[in-house]
Amino acid sequence: MPQIPLHYVDLRTFCYATEDEKRVQDALLRFLPEEFEIQRVESEGHYGDRILVLSARVENADDVRHVLSQLTDLEAFDTLIAELDDRVTENCELFLRLDKQAAFGGEVALGDGITFRAKVEAYPAKKAHAVENAEEVLTDLAAAAQDS
């Protein structure tokens, strides 16, 4: 498979005091390679409630490919491709919001709960180049998923 034109992928979610930490962790692990380390940072909400921030940065090309391949399970994958111009910033970052509840259930859906941020390679570092690269890699991964 060709090189993945992403420097890294960051995934982040919050575990609120009313949520089960193991379930939230499992939702995040839905997108990560096996035995991937999740960072935990404890914080405090406005009213003093505990908020646990769970995050992972994926930098290895094979691991990035794994995370991206999980997105091909999106029912709205074609919509995602069509929205890339809106989802890639001037800083060449691709942003998605993924549904945490769906991820816990083993599904992949756009929604709230998990923030997906990827730094897209682009030379020169222009949004248009980043959009092209993101579209190419996502389209290639979708085609590979259909072939297998």
Mean pLDDT for the chain overall: 93
State pLDDT tens for residues 33-86.
998 999 999 998 888 899 999 999 999 999 999 999 999 889 888 899 999 999
What residues contact 14, with CB distance under 8 A and at least 6 apart?
24, 51, 52, 53, 54, 113
| pTM metric for this prediction | 0.92
Q: How far is CA 72 from CA 67, 76, 81, 122, in A?
A: 10, 9, 11, 22
Which pLDDT score, from 0 to 100, does residue 143 have? 85
